[in-house]
Copies of this chain bind each other. A is one copy, B any other.
Amino acid sequence: MATSDPVYLRVVEDIRRQIHDGTLPPGALIPSRAQLTRKYQVGETAARHALRVLASEGLIIGRIGSGHYVRERSELTPLHRWRFLDRPTPFAADLQSQGWRVTWDWHSEPAEAGPDLARRLRVDESTTVTRTHYVFRGDGRPLQLATAYEPLEFAPHSEEERRSLVARMYAHGVKITEVVESIHTRAPRPSESEALDLPVGVHVLHVERTHWAGDRPVETSDIILPGDRFRMVYSMPV
């Protein structure tokens, strides 16, 4: 706050202000390193660092060979959780109901539970579960990663069975009574960054979802969403 703040902060704050008040609208070209050094009378290091900070905040994006641009608002598509939708994740179903063309690839494999899953599914660490990886795309672009874990006996045997977890469980005599979702945010792992084609500086929303039948967890999954594209919407009756 003092007058002797780092000089790169002066640049960061001035550009950030211009973005927020609309002087630099989405898509606008930010002055280049060389221009910033002249404009703010700072060294190249400071100009460069300022651009990196703004990029890591997700406000601007650097296009190599071209320049830094103000990020498009990307509009934070809402994902509504007020109805119970599956097929095969409720998020994909909600996007479809909003008119998105959602497609997905998946593959299943057996896996050992391990400590984390053992806790979440309340099974033994050495138990074998079915792990299914999904990659969801909307209009070609990757939208969401999901990894679902189920005890072997509940694994789907057909494409149709995969559509609705609730129906499948019901067929096994298990009635799902509750869904618990735990959301946090973190920097993407390198593999997620690549799979979701994330610009640097974008964090992910990590949703840990568990389906319960009474006091027994019957399926759990990790869902990874780009933090700059989605908001999770929860509706609760009082």
Q: CA of A182 to CA of B58 in the docked complex: distance in angstroms?
A: 20
Q: CA of A203 to CA of B205 in the docked complex: distance in angstroms?
A: 11
- Determine the residue in chain B with the shortest Cβ distance to A194: B1
**Which of B182, B231, B238 is the one whose CB lies under 8 Å from A233?**
B182
- Is residue A232 contacting chain B, with contact meaning CB distance below 8 A? yes
Q: Which of A103-111, A145-153, A183-191 touches B? A: A183-191
Residues of B within 8 A of A42 (CB): none
Q: Return A114 CB to nearest CB of chain B, in Å.
A: 13
Q: CA of A233 to CA of B16 in the docked complex: distance in angstroms?
A: 33
**Which of B16, B203, B234, B238 is the one whose CB lies under 8 Å from A185?**
B203
Residues of B within 8 A of A142 (CB): none
- Is residue A37 contacting chain B, with contact meaning CB distance below 8 A? no
Given A190-B13, A236-B179, A185 and B166 touching (CB < 8 A)? Answer: no
Q: Is the CB of A180 within 8 A of B227?
A: no
Q: Is the CB of B178 within 8 A of A235?
A: yes
Q: Which of A62-70, A76-84, A117-125 touches B? A: A76-84
Residues of B within 8 A of A59 (CB): 187
Q: Is the CB of B179 within 8 A of A238?
A: yes
- Is residue A14 contacting chain B, with contact meaning CB distance below 8 A? no
Q: Is the CB of A184 within 8 A of B235?
A: no
Q: Is the CB of A231 within 8 A of B182?
A: yes
Q: Return A166 CB to nearest CB of chain B, in Å.
A: 7
Q: Is the CB of B84 within 8 A of A184?
A: no
- Chain A 165-186 interface mask (CB, 8 Å, partner B; 1/0): 0100000000011111111111
The 30 listed contacts between A and B (C-beta, < 8 Å) are A13-B190, A56-B187, A58-B187, A59-B187, A76-B184, A78-B182, A81-B234, A81-B236, A82-B180, A84-B236, A166-B238, A177-B238, A178-B235, A178-B236, A179-B236, A180-B236, A181-B234, A181-B236, A182-B233, A182-B234, A183-B205, A183-B231, A183-B233, A184-B227, A184-B231, A185-B185, A185-B204, A186-B228, A187-B201, A208-B231
